[in-house]
């Protein structure tokens, strides 16, 4: 790995160690996830549940679109050890596809029959996501040069600025639309003031211009890069759809107010998921080595220990929901959000299953059979659609929660069967493109 040289050339900065990069990544993710949850809390305190529902719907609609068009270019770039593509190629493709994503969001907002206020929130959320998407491809450059500290600081700045700006703008205007516009402006400011200068700093330090000058628009190269990353975009879109389809059903069948209640309760799963993701990321290299060397007993023990941690974490969440769910929801949000303690408890049960599924999904990734995750996500999409279609009209929010339990259980069992099958096969590999670990 080449040394990073500061723009003034006075000193050289080496890539960070694996431990420091992990520490920075965990810190950045924790702060950013906490701030994202803080935005939901702020809105719940300041505006009506219907307005919070608009915000939640904006996230639910824009996420799958941008997940697909992003094509996980950050991961592709970060793992491009042979530098098959230049940095300018990644930026060029990202800018083109971000424009496509924004147009798609505008079309969805205008063609789906939403009220003007809801459509405006969706479009403004799309603008914010566009700036976030550009920052993400710059993160890929920083990750490629093993400077996760720069990414973490950006996420911390963006998170704290986001929740502050959203709170102030919404408080002064009492409008979610104004708050999301302010959010988009803040993300653009972080991109311009921090992310771009850090990308330039890294580009200037690259020996012999290894990353390429500026944005590149060669059509054949962009087409080849898009085809390379397309499976990743498809899988991450499936992951996002599986998470957000319940929100579409709730908004359509029950209204934005009920969506606000569901989103507020469901977001508490994120705290546990952040811990599980950090654990899975830190153990994935060792699991991969155990599988590659045929040490299946060690791999099995490592996975079992993680499953036990997940069950303990999920079980604790269920106990807290049973005995303190109403109080927690009332304190964190507002009294009306505490009207569904049973739904909250079911969601915490689903969380416990999701945590285990995330670990088993990571274990399948360690065995290098990436194609299996695509199958799981596709099948899960069918289960999500069928279960929400059948349960929400009859059981309301409780039906959405039970549907999440069902699809989480399905995905977790599927991963367990795939993992056990891979253990019996011994070491192996796949040439398929890797997918996300989320269940």
Q: How many CB atoms are located within 10 Å of the residue 342 CB? A: 13
pLDDT 10s digit of each residue in the chain, 439 long? Answer: 344 444 444 345 577 776 787 788 778 888 888 888 889 889 988 988 889 889 989 999 999 999 999 988 887 777 676 777 888 889 999 999 999 999 999 999 999 888 898 999 999 999 999 999 999 999 888 887 778 788 889 999 999 999 999 999 999 998 999 999 999 999 999 999 999 998 888 877 765 544 555 788 888 889 988 888 888 788 889 888 888 899 999 999 999 899 999 988 888 787 777 778 767 766 776 777 788 788 888 888 888 988 998 999 899 989 999 998 899 888 888 888 888 899 999 999 999 999 998 888 878 877 767 677 778 889 999 999 999 999 999 999 999 999 999 999 999 999 999 988 888 875 444 433 333 333 3
CATH no., domain 1-228: 1.20.1250
Q: How far apart are CA 313 and CA 343, in angstroms?
A: 19
Q: How far apart are CA 346 and CA 349, in angstroms?
A: 5
Give the H/E segment covering residue 295.
Answer: none
Q: How far apart are CA 53 and CA 49, in angstroms?
A: 6
Query: In the chain, where are the structural domains located?
Result: 1-228, 268-439
Q: Sign of torsion, CA 337 341 343 346?
A: positive
How far are the Cα atoms of 6, 16, 69 from residue 3, in angstroms, in the given order?
Answer: 10, 10, 32
Which pair of tokens denotes residue 56? Answer: 């939640």
Q: In the chain, count of helices (H) and strands (E)?
A: 15, 2
């Amino acid at each position: 790995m080449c040394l990073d040289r500061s723009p003034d050339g006075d000193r050289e900065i080496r890539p960070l160690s694996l431990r420091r990069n992990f520490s920075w990544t965990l810190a950045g993710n924790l702060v950013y996830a906490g701030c994202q949850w803080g935005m939901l809390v702020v809105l719940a305190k300041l505006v009506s549940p219907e307005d919070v529902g608009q915000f939640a719907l904006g996230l639910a609609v824009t996420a799958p679109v941008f997940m697909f068009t992003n094509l996980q270019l950050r991961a592709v770039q970060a793992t491009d050890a042979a530098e098959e593509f230049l940095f300018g190629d990644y930026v060029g493709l990202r800018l083109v596809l971000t424009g496509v994503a924004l147009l798609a969001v505008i079309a969805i907002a205008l063609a789906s029959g939403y009220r003007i206020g809801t459509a405006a929130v969706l479009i403004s959320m799309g603008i914010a996501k566009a700036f976030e998407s550009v920052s993400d491809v710059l993160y890929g450059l920083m990750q490629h040069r093993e400077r996760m500290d720069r990414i973490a600081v950006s996420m911390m700045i963006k998170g704290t600025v986001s929740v502050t700006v959203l709170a102030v703008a919404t408080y002064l205007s009492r409008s979610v639309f104004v708050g999301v516009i302010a959010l988009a402006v803040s993300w653009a400011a972080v991109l311009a003031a921090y992310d771009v200068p850090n990308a330039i700093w890294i580009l200037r330090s690259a020996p012999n211009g290894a990353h390429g000058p500026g944005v590149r628009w060669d059509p054949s190269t962009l087409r080849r890069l898009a085809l390379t990353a397309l499976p990743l975009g498809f899988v991450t879109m499936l992951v996002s759809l599986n998470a957000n389809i319940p929100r579409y059903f709730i908004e359509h069948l029950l209204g934005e107010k009920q969506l606000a209640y569901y989103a507020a309760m469901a977001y508490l799963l994120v705290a546990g998921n952040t811990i599980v993701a950090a654990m899975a990321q830190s153990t994935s290299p060792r699991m991969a080595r155990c599988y590659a060397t045929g040490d299946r007993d060690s791999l099995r023990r490592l996975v079992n220990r993680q499953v036990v941690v997940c069950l303990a974490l999920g079980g604790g969440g269920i106990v807290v929901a049973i005995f303190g769910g109403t109080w927690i929801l009332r304190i964190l949000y507002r009294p009306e959000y505490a009207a569904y303690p049973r739904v909250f408890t079911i969601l915490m049960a689903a969380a416990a299953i999701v945590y285990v599924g995330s670990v088993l999904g990571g274990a399948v990734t360690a065995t290098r059979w990436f194609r299996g995750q695509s199958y799981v996500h596709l099948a899960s999409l069918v289960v999500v659609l069928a279960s929400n279609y059948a349960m929400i009209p009859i059981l309301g929010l409780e039906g959405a929660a039970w549907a999440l339990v069902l699809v989480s259980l399905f995905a977790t069992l599927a991963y367990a069967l795939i993992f056990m099958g891979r253990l019996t096969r011994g070491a192996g590999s796949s040439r398929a493109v890797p997918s996300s670990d989320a269940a």
